[in-house]
Structure formats: structure tokens, C-alpha cells
Structure 1
Amino acid sequence: MTSAGRPTDSFSQDHRPVLRATGRVVPLPDTSATDGRIVLAPAKAAWLAAHGLGGLAAILFFPQWSALAVFVLLTGGTICAGHSVGMHRLLIHRSFRAPRPVEYLLVWLGVLVGMAGPFGMVRAHDMRDWHQRQAVCPPHPSHDAGFWRDAWWQLCCEFRLTHPPRLNYGPELENSGFYRIVERSWMAQQLIVAVPLYLLGGWAFVLWGVCLRVFVSLVGHWAVGHYAHRRGEQIWPAPQMSVQGYNLKGLGLITFGENWHANHHAFPDSARLGLGPGQFDPGFVFVRLLERLGLARDIKLPEDEALAMTPPSPAPSAVAMQRSG
């Protein structure tokens, strides 16, 4: 995996450990969690660069308070209601249930964050989760690289396994025509927002409300993931995982609760991520609001002992400790 203790771009392991199945991810007889290579993903890199340039143009040429307000409102709405609640807690973990139109709206808002479509988000999340629960986790899914290298890997590249496991998306995704359409056109979904923004405020609103918003969302999501797997507070270590999660204090408001990652590792199917005093979780506040409006039900909480992650068999030989750098 490493040379002189430093991560490299290719990984192999001659003596393969027993691999664990994790929900939708099932290893095949020839599957290896480490044999693979990090490669440039041109479309992914171009998507980031295009929005970064558009965002820079927004700041340099259209410094308007109204455009800034559009950026703040759309960024907060898409990340909170869309990514944190719709994509992460609802679609991926099914930590609560919602009427199908509400689910579709929340997930669509999550698509507007600009990371991937619904299938792509499930794949990215579940593959990282699967890697982190194996006895050995490569540097890419574990964020075990320096700041700039991990940024390059996560934002512009992808980790391609030579013999990947099978990913079962499940009937709720596979049988949904809506999700299939959105998956095929997830980049183009930005046009649904861009057109009315242009009509309301011209290119200023488009560059602030689409380009800068997407760029900040992508980089912010990576940064939270990078640090939440390296350092911070940890109350419930997960000995069954080779990569630990950590709580990042003081970021509850701007991450909408996604900063409480140690809690999430301990109770992955809980709709509530902020569990202790002072652990503000705006995403869960939004879920409770949906419940009061009759739009959310069957909300799962850590108090349900069945949510606690149970050690799979065999247990990993070692647990990754808090890392520096």
C-alpha cells in the first residue's frame, strides 16, 4: 500500500483478508479491496474547474449583495435539505421515511449540490463505507494522504478496483424511472436553476447561484470528509472499522450536522447526528420539521439499540487511531 510510510497511487496485496459484505456491497470470489489504481477522472476534474472559474468570475466581476444572498440561500438549502437530509439520511441510510414526492424533491435538491446523481451518490458513499469496514483500507477511501494530495484524489480522480465487489442498489432506486432519468442528466439539472436565476438577475445570479455554489459545495464536502476521518473528538470508537470517524466541533451550522462523524460511525442509520450537549444538528431539525408537517415518519434514533453498529466477523486485527497531518 505504501512506500516508506507514504501513500502511493497504486495498491496491491498478495495475502488478501476475508472481505466483509456491507449492506448493498457484496464481495465476489475474486474481489480485492486493495488491488486498484487512482486515475484522473477527466469529466469530474473539468466539472470542478469549470465551476471554480465561474465562481471566480462571480467574485471578481459581479460583487453584488443580492447575488451573495442567492448564493447563501441556495447553498444552505441544497446542502441541508438536499445533501444532508435527502441524499444522506433518507436515500442512503433510510433513517426516516417520506412520501415519494417529498423524497424525490429532497434527493433532487441533493443532486443540485453537484456531486453526482442518486446512483452515483449511493455508489460513492457505500464503496467508501465498505472499504473503511475492511481490515485494510487503501489511502484513497480512508483519506490517508496529505491535504493537497487528498484534495486532488477526491476532487479530480477516482479509485478503480481491479476486481470490485457487486453493488446492489435495491428496488427503490433500480425500479424508479425518476431516479434513472436524474442519474443520466444530473449535471444538466443545474439548468433548471440557472434559467430562472438568469431571468431574475442575469449572469451575476447564475455565477453566484450555480458556479460558485457548486464549487464551494464540492470543496467543502471534501474538506469535512478529510478532517472527519483524521482528527477530532471521538466518544464511541468503532473497533469493527479500520478507519475511524471524528466529531469536528464548531462546524454544526455550516455542515448542517454532517460534522458529527464519530456519532455517525457509531449509529450509521440514525437520523440524528448531533447527540451530545452543544452538538447542533440543523439537518435533524429539518427532519423534525418534516415530521410535524406530516411529511416524515419512522424516524430512527440512537436510542434504538438495533441502530448501533455490531462488530462483523471476523473482526479487524487493528483499529486505525487518530492521525495527524
Structure 2
Amino acid sequence: MSVAGGAAAGAFKVNSLTGLEQASPVAGRVRWDPPRSLWNGGMLAAALVLAPLTFSWGAFLIFLATAGVTLCAGHSVGFHRRLIHRSFEAPKWVDRVLMWLGTAVGIGGPIWTIRLHDSRDWAQRQPDCHWFLRHGKPWLIDGFYYLHFRLELARPPAFAPGPVADDPFYRFLDRTWMQQQLPIAALLWLGGGLPWLVWGVFVRVSACTTMHWCISYFAHTGAPDDWSVDGAVIQASNVALLAIPTMGESWHGNHHAFPSSARHGLYPGQIDLGYRFVQLLERLGLAWDVKLPTNLPPRRGLTPLTSRALSAVSPEQAELTAARTVA
């Protein structure tokens, strides 16, 4: 069977993608992406030049606060766990707030993020994929490509995100994701002048963008921990050192095993601030139908690699996979 045929046969269903039987994640061209390259490069250059000149402990606290709120509530919970994986339900106004905070991170709008995530997710679960999608270059070179280039597949899947694409608010955020830094910059300027603006926008955006690449690189180039996914060229790993700055996103091996789970840190000692925020929303009545490995339908194609792996799943999942336990 050809690589493309193998990919089609093992196609993993991703919500926003169609035509997977004809698509291939292997062949494609890497092209410079001028808008994002200039955005990412400009933010980083401004941060490197201006941050040392404007440092104060107050400005640093602004950086921590704005990065923490946008990464946790916006990117981790809003974009990733709610928008992409639908791991919980929430009122429409809460969705709107989370989507704006996710856009305020400075990486992209909600619809663009769905496409980026789902395309990579689908490709990494095939028998093979393009090096750009599996971080196939050395560390710093990969980071350069990740922040300044894009991949155009020769046979891409079709993108059909559904009602999200017709939502005027989501489309507005997608069109104006860069401009969403302007109201933040204005408020920071009024509150603390240039130091707050530099640390709350330039330093924050460049740090968040770099962290997004870092967790993707290290989580997709290491060995699996507790679970392996059958037929996937990428076996994600957990990256404990990045758990706090990524709000729990670094428990990526767990996430690959149970992508619909609102909880990524499944085992003792695995700090997951994003899930803690979901729990807070749930206690306030602002989130419900929270999905966890203990209440998700059993998933085939998983192999437990450790004795503790089954302790975090439902009895049905444990029964389905117990015979495949490696350790």
C-alpha cells in the first residue's frame, strides 16, 4: 500500500476536515508566509529591543497577568478545549469572551486556529506526514520555519468548520486578529505608559507565540509516556517542565489519547491550570457536560504503556484496552 493509501485507510476523523480519503499529508511545498512572518518577527524584535529599556516590576507583573489570562482562559480553554474539541458546553456570551481572549493571545483568529490545529492533528495521526507537520528539522531551524512559513499540501483535505464559519463575530475576529492588540495597547498605555505597553503587548505576544511553538515541538518529538495511538507517525509525549506556562497543554501525550477530554493532566502531580479554570466555570454554572476520560465513549486504537495508564479512564475503556497493556 502506498503512503497516501495508508493515510487514507487510517484516516482519523477530524471535525472540520472532509475529503480525507483523497487527501495526503505527505507531499507539499513550504512557502514563506509574509503577514505572519512580519508579525512574529516584528513582535520579537520590538520585545528584544524595548523590553530591557522599559523593565520594571510593575511592567513584569502586567506581562504575567495578561499572558496568564489570555493563555489560560483564551487559548487553552477557549480555543483548544472549547472551540476545537468541544470538551464542555458554555453560554454564548462566555464563548464570546473566551474567543476574544484566545484571539488576544496574538497567534491568530478562531477559524484560522481550527484549520491549523485540525490539519496538523489529522496529519500526525497518519502513517507518515510532511516534515513541516511533524517538526522534522533541528530545534532552532524548526522554530524559524514554524514562525515564518506555511505548508501548502499537494492534496489537502477540504476545510468545513460548520456553523462557526458563518458566525459574524468569529469571522470578525479572524479578519482583525492583529488589530485586537490595539485596545489592549491603549488601555496599557493609559494605565502605565510605555513600560506596560511593551511588556503587555510586545513581550507577551512574542513569548506566547514562541511558547506555542515550543510545546508543539517538544511534545511531538519525544517518546510517548502512558499511551500510544495505533498507526500514528507522531506519538505525543508529556512535557512536565512546561505544564505551568502552557496551562496544562504540555500533558500532550494524554491529550493525544483523549483529545475530547477537558482535562489534560490525568495523573497525580500533573498540574493542569486550564482544567482548573474549566472546573471554576462549572462551579459558577458557566460550563456543563464536561468531558473526561472517565465519561467518554471507549476509544479503540489505544495501547496503555504503563501500569497507571488505566487508572484515569472509564471501566469500559479499561476493559477495551487492558489486554494491550505493555507495562
Q: CA deviation at 1:63?
A: 1.4
Residues 103, 110 of structure 2: 8 Å contact kept? yes
Q: TM-score, normalised by structure 2?
A: 0.87
Counterpart residue type for residue 278 of structure 1? G
Within 5 A, what are the aligned runs for 1:89-238?
89-171=81-163, 173-231=164-222, 234-238=225-229
Q: CA deviation at 1:152?
A: 1.4
Counterpart residue type for residue 217 of structure 1? C
- Structure 1 or 2: larger helix share? 2
Within 5 A, what are the aligned runs for 1:1-325?
16-18=4-6, 19=8, 20=11, 21-27=13-19, 31-171=23-163, 173-231=164-222, 234-306=225-297, 308=299, 310=301
Residues in 1 aligned to 2:20 and 2:274: alpha-carbon distance in whole angstroms:
36
Residues in 2 aligned to 1:309 and 1:196: alpha-carbon distance in whole angstroms:
50
Residues 248, 265 of structure 2: 8 Å contact kept? yes
Residues in 2 aligned to 1:267 and 1:29: alpha-carbon distance in whole angstroms:
23
Deviations 1:99-140 (A, max 9, x none): 011011111101111111001100100000111122211111
Question: Are the structure 2 counterparts of residues 237 and 207 from structure 1 closer, same or farther at C-alpha, using a change threshold of 3 Å?
Answer: same
Classify the secondary structure of the residue corresponding to 1:131.
helix
Q: CA deviation at 1:163?
A: 2.5
Q: CA deviation at 1:310?
A: 4.5
What are structure 2's unaligned runs of at least 5 residues?
303-327
Residues in 1 aligned to 2:3 and 2:288: alpha-carbon distance in whole angstroms:
46
Residues 82, 106 of structure 1: 8 Å contact kept? yes
Question: Are the structure 2 counterparts of residues 306 and 90 from structure 1 closer, same or farther at C-alpha, using a change threshold of 3 Å?
Answer: same
Residues in 1 aligned to 2:199 and 2:126: alpha-carbon distance in whole angstroms:
41
Counterpart residue type for residue 200 of structure 1? G
Question: Are the structure 2 counterparts of residues 170 and 307 from structure 1 closer, same or farther at C-alpha, using a change threshold of 3 Å?
Answer: farther
Q: CA deviation at 1:30?
A: 5.0
Residues in 1 aligned to 2:300 and 2:83: alpha-carbon distance in whole angstroms:
19
Classify the secondary structure of the residue corresponding to 2:99.
helix
When structure 1 is superposed on structure 2, of 104-113 and 247-256 the one drifting more is 247-256
Q: CA deviation at 1:95?
A: 0.2
Q: CA deviation at 1:32?
A: 2.7
Deviations 1:130-185 (A, max 9, x none): 111222111111112210221112111001112311011111x1231110111111
Residues in 2 aligned to 1:111 and 1:298: alpha-carbon distance in whole angstroms:
25
RMSD: 1.8
Residues in 2 aligned to 1:177 and 1:15: alpha-carbon distance in whole angstroms:
39
When structure 1 is superposed on structure 2, of 219-228 and 236-245 the one drifting more is 236-245
Residues 71, 212 of structure 1: 8 Å contact kept? yes
Residues 28, 130 of structure 2: 8 Å contact kept? no
What are structure 1's unaligned runs of at least 5 residues?
1-12, 312-325
Residue number in structure 2 paired with 1:317 = none
Residues 266, 309 of structure 1: 8 Å contact kept? no
Counterpart residue type for residue 184 of structure 1? R
Residues in 2 aligned to 1:17 and 1:190: alpha-carbon distance in whole angstroms:
44
Percent of aligned positions with the same letter in both sequences? 40
Q: TM-score, normalised by structure 1?
A: 0.87
Residues in 2 aligned to 1:144 and 1:17: alpha-carbon distance in whole angstroms:
22
Residues 51, 212 of structure 1: 8 Å contact kept? yes
Classify the secondary structure of the residue corresponding to 1:81.
helix
Deviations 1:247-294 (A, max 9, x none): 012332121100100000000000000000100101000000000111
Q: CA deviation at 1:232?
A: 5.2
When structure 1 is superposed on structure 2, of 23-32 and 63-72 the one drifting more is 23-32
